[in-house]
Amino acid sequence: MGNSEIVTVTDPHTCGMAVAVGAFEGKWKSFIMWALSDGPRRFGQTRRLVTGISEKVLTQQLRELQADGIVHREDHEEVPPRVEYALTEQGRRLYELLELLSAWGQDHLAAREGSTTDEGRGALPPDSPGADS
């Protein structure tokens, strides 16, 4: 990304950025990854941590994360049945990037709160170079 070469994205399935964003896009996947970041969790534990998600959506999102190699599903053959979900190595690497993205978001929010516009965001601080006086 840092070079001056012009890149045309013709196939979003082979563009690294599109594949990376696709792995966690949507409302819930990053929160599910957060819930699993401390180690394996059962379905119910995950659902309690990711508040507001339905069982159906959680199941769907876990299946998609599993299909993408982000989450591993461990079926312990016990009675009663016990299934645990955990981040794979690829999932942990992606979660590290999401933590960086979250930190950037926190910094950006703080910078926006310090800006002065009618809406309270998007303008340069009054004492910064280029700000209208």
Report the percent of the chain where pLDDT is more than 70: 77
- Report in angstroms the alpha-carbon separations of 122 from 48, 116, 117: 36, 8, 7
- The average confidence (pLDDT) of the chain is 84
115: Cβ contacts below 8 Å, ≥ 6 apart: 121, 122, 123, 124, 125
Of residues 88 and 8, the one with the higher pLDDT is: 88
Does residue 91 surpass a pLDDT of 90?
Answer: yes
Percentages of the chain per state (helix, strand, coil), in multiples of 5? 45, 10, 45
- Mean local confidence (pLDDT), 55-65: 96
Could you give the CA distance from residue 86 to residue 112 in angstroms, rounded to a whole number? 35
Tens-digit pLDDT profile for residues 120-129: 445 445 554 5
Please, which pLDDT band fits residue 97 given cuts at 50, 70 and 90? Answer: very high
pLDDT at 32: 96
What's the whole-model pTM score?
0.71
pLDDT in tens, 4-47: 676 666 676 677 778 888 888 888 999 999 999 999 999 999 99
